[in-house]
A and B are shown apart, each in its own frame.
Chain A
Amino acid sequence: MKRRDFVGLTGLGVGALFLPSFPGFGGTPVDAARLLESTMDAAVNKRLADAALNAAKSAGASYADVRIGRYLNQSIFTREKQVQNIANGESFGAGVRVIANGTWGFAATNNVSEAGLAKAAQTAVQIAKANAKVQKEPVKLAPQKGYGEVSWKTPIQQNAFEVPVKDKVDLLLAANAKALDGGASFVNSALFQVNEQKYFASTDGSYIDQDVHRIWPTFGVTAIDRASGKFRTREALSSPMGMGYEYMVPKAQDKIAGPAGTGLVGYKYSYDILEDAALAAQQAKGKLTATSVTPGKYDLVLDPNHLGLTIHESIGHATELDRVLGYEANYAGTSFATLDWKKQNKPYGSKVVNIIADKTQVGSLGAVGYDDEGVKTKQWDIIKDGQLVDYQKIRDQAHIVGQNESDGCCYAQSWQDVQFQRMANVSLKPNAQKLSVDDMIKGVDKGIYIAGRGSFSIDQQRYNFQFGGTVFYAIEKGKIAGQIEDVAYQANTQEFWNSCAATCDQSDYRLFGSFFDGKGQPSQVSAVSHGSATTRFNGVNVINTARKV
């Protein structure tokens, strides 16, 4: 029997199996009040961590780290005029990772006591020793100094877990009402909130206490034409953020007008869910009667809330060093951007393509003070003037590319999963010269403007991709010419980024994000942001996705 099939077929999240009522999206359900209890005392954690580290060393480990984690989440689901579920999840436990006989071992337990952690450490060493028999080369870690006792916290203004659930429910139901008033047939809305309380300690001498917050409001507004049987959904144009509840309080300075003729609004560091829901109803209905796209080559003008996913798939993943080296060959795949490819100095993109990786950007999902193997985070260049200059790497990979420093992008989704290399926030730098979206569109003769995420698929070496979107507008002779439908573009990563003609300026820059970037075996999710301004790509192949069944 396969638990995940059960979960998949019921449309519920992993971790929710067999729990009554509706699930959260991780952890086990608890009441809201418990999410405010403090059970992570740094002094207690240090004592527990030392028990694990000492047990690991006694059992023969040459290196050990321990992560004691309390992972909290609250998710609120509504549809139309009713609350479907309010799920509060908590997951508490510890994971111990060791190197023994030159080989990694890992064990996790929910028995967070000195004895429980010591036993986990011994199990991890036992696993490492068993696996050392089939290990080829000993693990080699980039040197890392201990930081002593330090801490870091997401710079939030309002802890979402402290906001009364009723206020959050009222806001979602008000958004639903806006959509229904606008003629929507159905509307589902949800608010996800995450708090990772993580305590990391290692034999390098670091004791790192971190408090990480994330939030994501979203909805889907569906319009149905019963007579024809046609239905279309317009998703929210919000973004998951590394912020507190302040993201839910709209501020004028965070709103950016979309192209003239679309009514769209881009949101920076706060989101107006009521405004977006009202527009979504209008656009969902518009999708029912919109002209079906004529396939062919178009210049694409891509909104940041759409382009973020294209950056994620075609640059973010392609430049992860573990994929480049083949560690993900059995699942997520490898990469065309191999070490040999990099040496050839082929252009990844046009000269306007400048990509940075960043684990420090305020408001982003990936921002932390230290990664999950105790490395202080930083920002670094991935692509400069269209040329690949570096990868994303962690401690046991740096030596493979002749470097002696991790990039600080190691992460585990929970205490019970082993940490490994995950994508940093990977973002496209905006144009240093002034360029507005309307001015960009003025120069497009035959194009399509795309906002929001849609269908996305890319091959296992990151060459061929196909992306849809949430809303599409035809651009004719420099102007928005109305909503169109059934749009997806297919391209090759290098051709696509080499067709990048221009990006708008900083005033248009926004973060796109995903809570659920999947990688690894067992599969783990990671939250990551991608910033950009609206960007133009010339001559991209667009297909029509309408079918008759």
Chain B
Amino acid sequence: MAIISKDEAQAILTKVLGFSTADECEATLTGTTGGNIRTARNTVSTAGAVDNVSLAVEARFGKRSGVATCNQFDDATLRRCVQRAEEIARLAPESPEYVPMLGAQQYVSTPAFAQNTAGINPDFRAQQAGKSISYCDQKKLSSAAFLEDEAGFVAKRNKKGLEAYQQFTNLDFSVTVRTPDGLGSGYAAADYTDISKFDAGRLTQIAAGKAAASVTAKAIEPGKYTVILEPAALVANTDASLLGALMQAFDARSADEGRSFLSKKGGGNKKGEKLFDERVTIYSDPASPDIPGLAFAGDGRPRQKVTWIEKGVVKNMYSSRFWAQKQGIPDIAPPSGFIMMGGTASTEDLIKSTQKGILVTRLWYIRPVDPQTLLYTGLTRDGTFYIENGKIKHPVKNFRFNESPIIMLNNLEAIGRPQRLGGNFVPPLKIRDFTFTSLSDAV
């Protein structure tokens, strides 16, 4: 039931709209089916499967709006759901930020679904987890890993002619490998729309290599260092991250209201200003084969290729439809992921070109310290190494950092080859004067 075909979904939605007596009515049908497996101490800990489909109906009378949902699809239930949304709408206060629903839209085609990912079963998950476990068993290391996959669909339809449908798939895998003495730890993570290139064993091998290489870490003084930040130090699967935080701050309303790093002294925002190194270009593209996204946003707005930063200059910000109309600015929906343009250099190439510096595998527990300057704090984790004369010299103890991605993207030394992580496509970056403020004993 979790994946309903386009025709079936639109047939349900058409029926739903047929029950509506409201001025405006929009129905959204979503469903996912998926599973997960978790391992630790070289054995399986928990695993599960989840299946869900639900319908949401929004009804509007004038500027009054109401929403109701259901997860049964017989006529009586559908009719009741519509009636309930209409009852709520009649009782709701008028919204001062009312914007009429969208009419028919053109959406780009995006490759967000892969049949092989949708076909994953418990045996596949157990087999991949088994690869990770057996590799670490052989090497006398301890692995903790997580694999999660899902396949789903979204369908929308409203009385003004909007019609949307798309299927998607995703698989996330991450693994932390530790040495038995607890002195070494390594990490690797990847995510896929299409799992044909997924291999838990290969990723475990990378994490295991970092774990083995990170024992006997030496303490070096905190301070400002040249760093090579690997993708897991720039973006994260589920946590806050430095580049993720930067992109989240591209909301036009906060900027216009004076409470964003993109706000201008005296009023207005910094669109058009050069705030970063001229090699920094960040854009989104739902049709990207590297990180395909949904072709439409939650409110039905089409997603297109949008450049947020071009050669260091702020080019666009996203906003709600209300704010775009109020300010007379381009109506841009928030993206599903972002792409930072890079070069061809591998992380190894970046190391080779570094006289003195620190290689950072991953940054973690990243939290905002000052929204005014986008100052963030967090720690290095799972593989931090000192580089001298183009080579990794020795592992170093972990650091706490206090740094702003704005400063970081001005102190850019070199950009590597981008790779997918956490639904984004980002290169490793070499940054000078990255601020480490204290040491951590954590491994």
Which partner residue on chain B sits nearest A416 by CB separation?
B50
Please report which residues of chain B, range 354-373, place their CB below 8 angstroms from some CB of chain A when the two chains form the complex: 364-373
CA distance A21 to B26 in the complex (A): 10
A-B contact pairs, 25 of them (CB 8 A): A1-B293, A1-B337, A2-B337, A2-B422, A9-B334, A18-B56, A90-B69, A126-B122, A127-B47, A131-B126, A131-B129, A136-B41, A228-B265, A327-B45, A330-B145, A331-B238, A455-B367, A459-B440, A461-B443, A464-B398, A490-B437, A492-B441, A545-B369, A549-B373, A549-B406
Which partner residue on chain B sits nearest A31 by CB separation?
B88
The answer, among B126, B130, B170, B365, for a CB contact under 8 Å with A460, is B365
Give the Cβ gap from B52 to chain A, nearest Cβ, in Å.
5
- B156 interfacial by beta-carbon distance below 8 Å: yes
Q: Please count how many residues in chain A sit with their CB below 8 Å of the partner chain's CB atoms.
A: 100
Which partner residue on chain A sits nearest B67 by CB separation?
A29
- B395 interfacial by beta-carbon distance below 8 Å: no
Which partner residue on chain B sits nearest A95 by CB separation?
B48
Contact call A327/B144, Cβ cutoff below 8 A:
yes
- A123 interfacial by beta-carbon distance below 8 Å: yes
- B163 interfacial by beta-carbon distance below 8 Å: no
Task: Provide the residues of chain A in CB contact with B348, threshold 8 Å.
Answer: none
- A11 interfacial by beta-carbon distance below 8 Å: yes
Give the Cβ gap from B37 to chain A, nearest Cβ, in Å.
7
Q: How many A-B residue pairs have CB under 8 A?
A: 314
One of B3-11, B12-20, B173-181, B426-434 at the interface: B173-181
Contact call A521/B365, Cβ cutoff below 8 A:
no
One of A103-111, A373-381, A401-409 at the interface: A103-111
Please report which residues of chain A, range 116-152, place their CB below 8 angstroms from some CB of chain B when the two chains form the complex: 123-124, 126-128, 130-131, 133-137
Given A82-B96, A464-B440, 9 other A-B residues pairs in contact with their CB atoms under 8 A:
A1-B337, A8-B248, A28-B54, A137-B43, A186-B257, A231-B258, A329-B176, A331-B238, A521-B148
Given A226-B266, A229-B258, residue A110 in contact with residue B366 (CB < 8 A): no
Task: Provide the residues of chain A in CB contact with B329, threshold 8 Å.
Answer: none
- A458 interfacial by beta-carbon distance below 8 Å: yes
Contact call B398/A459, Cβ cutoff below 8 A:
yes
Given A460-B442, A545-B402, residue A28 in contact with residue B56 (CB < 8 A): yes
Given A20-B26, A134-B44, residue A457 in contact with residue B367 (CB < 8 A): yes
- A19 interfacial by beta-carbon distance below 8 Å: yes
CA distance A339 to B380 in the complex (A): 25
Q: Which 10 A-B pairs have the closest CB atoms?
A: A2-B423, A20-B58, A464-B440, A461-B442, A459-B442, A229-B265, A329-B144, A106-B48, A330-B144, A521-B146
One of B212-220, B225-233, B294-302, B385-393 at the interface: B294-302
Contact call A455/B377, Cβ cutoff below 8 A:
yes
Please report which residues of chain B, range 39-66, place their CB below 8 angstroms from some CB of chain A when the two chains form the complex: 39-54, 56, 58, 65-66
Give the Cβ gap from B198 to chain A, nearest Cβ, in Å.
16
Given A108-B50, A460-B364, A547-B373, residue A134 in contact with residue B130 (CB < 8 A): yes
Contact call B367/A185, Cβ cutoff below 8 A:
no
CA distance A3 to B96 in the complex (A): 29
Contact call B442/A336, Cβ cutoff below 8 A:
yes
